[in-house]
Amino acid sequence: MRKMMVMMVFVLLFGLMGCSQRDVEYDGGYEEEQDVTVLLSDVPTRKIIYQVRTTLQVTNVNSFNDELQDLMAADEWMDRQQINGSNAYYELRIRTDRLDTFIDELKDRYAINHFEKEGTDVSLQYQDKTNRITAIDLQLERLLTLYESASLSDMITINRQISELEVEKQKLNGELLVYDSLIDYSLVIVTVYGSTVVTKSPFINRLGRAFESGWTGLVSFLDGLMILIATILPFGVIFGLTGGSVVLYIKHKNKKYDLKKKLESKE
């Protein structure tokens, strides 16, 4: 009888140790899955963000604005548009798959003074975010499986972790959408200078623009001078009339005084 009781005690202790061990394994496995990293064997597709800067010489800035609209596709748009006299500035969003075609049309139609094309490779950043989303999906799947057999306190912990993972996943998806937009639609910055002298030679274009700028500056100076004269003229007339009246009065008074002295000296 005593041997049987001892055996039952050992069996009971062994069962308790097994349950405790399962609890430890559950907690440890749950925590370790927070840092799951998925490695893909496939080479990631290149993700490149393009940006173009160009400076054009045109004869008429206003007509160029309409021509630029005609060159753009229906799903392309302007981020920024600024026209200042004979100069203009544009920030365009052009589909990357037709970026080269759009640039070639600009080069064929207008005199290009400056051109620059830059590509930024974001493939690694894009792949990292994609891998993290895949890892989060695996973690969520594992948590949902654990949730079915979890205790009440574990359910609360699992729900909190699921909420945090879903928030992180939404943030990553939003960042990927931004990347997709920048990759699919390239930024084209166009600076336009209006000039009556437009040739294929950048030097001649700069020389003509400098002459026009000097002539415009001279006209502006003369215009300002005329406005200044017109502004001062009324004051000059008033002060001139007042001053002339004072001078005439003084002369008349002095003349009377001289006449009086002459009469006194004769007597």
Q: What are 222-245's pLDDT values in tens digits?
A: 667 678 777 877 777 787 777 767
Report d(CA 39, CA 83) in Å as an integer.
51
Q: Which stretches within 40-79 are classed as H helix?
A: 61-71
Report d(CA 161, CA 136) in Å as an integer.
11
Q: Within a domain: residue 102?
A: yes
Q: Within a domain: residue 55?
A: yes
Q: Within a domain: residue 95?
A: yes
pTM across the whole model? 0.58
Report d(CA 263, CA 11) in Å as an integer.
156
- The answer on pLDDT for 193 being more than 60 is yes
Q: Within a domain: residue 216?
A: no
Contact assessment for residue 30 and residue 146, using Cβ atoms and an 8 Å cutoff: yes
Report d(CA 87, CA 60) in Å as an integer.
9
Q: Within a domain: residue 249?
A: no
Q: Within a domain: residue 80?
A: yes
The count of domains in the chain is 1
Most confident of 16-30, 128-142, 194-208: 128-142
pLDDT tens by residue, 111-136: 999 999 999 999 999 999 999 999 99
Q: Residue 101 corresponds to which tokens in the numbers above?
A: 């075609």
Q: Within a domain: residue 177?
A: no
| Residue 189 confidence (pLDDT) | 98
Give the sheet arrangement for strand 87-95, strand by strand: 77-84, 87-95, 185-194, 48-58, 111-121
Give me the domain span that covers residue 117. Answer: 48-122+184-203
Q: Within a domain: residue 76?
A: yes
- The answer on pLDDT for 102 being more than 70 is yes
Count CB-CB contacts under 10 A for residue 2. Answer: 6
| Residue 9 confidence (pLDDT) | 44
Bridge partners, 50 (sequence order): 119
Q: Which residue has the higher pLDDT, 45 or 157?
A: 157
